[in-house]
Amino acid sequence: MSRVFWVRHGPTHARGGMVGWSDLPADLSDTARLRALDAALPPAAVVVSSDLRRARETADAIAGARDRLPPDPDLREMHFGDWELQRFDAVPDQARLFAFWDNPGDTRPPGGESWHELCARVDRAVARAQNAHPGRDIVAVAHFGVILTQVQQALRLSAYEAFAHRIDNLSLTELRRGPDDAWEAGAINRLP
């Protein structure tokens, strides 16, 4: 059985709306939470992260003696394109914005990517990590949207239903690939 332990990066304290590819630092001042998270993760796992600073820094803080893999750009957050760092009410094309959130799938922000494109990108990253490290647990430090793509798959939800899940900063979500090769959910958004 293959397991992926998804960790959402530390908080960024970004003000505003959609934070995707902006390379913001993580606030890792909650050292007790980081120690608890490290203790909750399997000691022999490999650790991979998004290449964005907030995920890299968080992965480095919890990696401990685990093998640290190079950051993977396919684990980046959703690419919000022209909507990056904008408040929702500041996006000029409100009809497109509502379509993007209310019926996620093929609608994309100008210069950005759709939900389906994000899902395909994250699936590629997970497959690469599993193929390179067969039989090993994987700790993947990533972002809200990235983790939701995998929760959606494991729970067999629509994207809209997946959006109802909360994924807190420095939370842990455990997903397992069963004998039938389908993903199953363990804990979702656990705060160690």
Active-site amino acid positions: 9, 77
DSSP track, 75-88: GSPP--GGGTT--G
The span from the CA of 123 to the CA of 101, in Å, is 21
**Which residues neighbour 135 within 8 Å (Cβ) at sequence distance 6 or greater?**
2
Strand partners, 164: none
Tokens of 178: 């069963």
Q: Which long-range contacts (CB under 8 A, 24 or more apart) does 22-25 make?
A: 22/84, 22/85, 23/52, 23/53, 23/54, 24/52, 24/53, 24/54, 25/53, 25/54, 25/57
Joined tokens for residue 183 = 């993903």
Cβ neighbours around 189 below 10 Å, total: 15
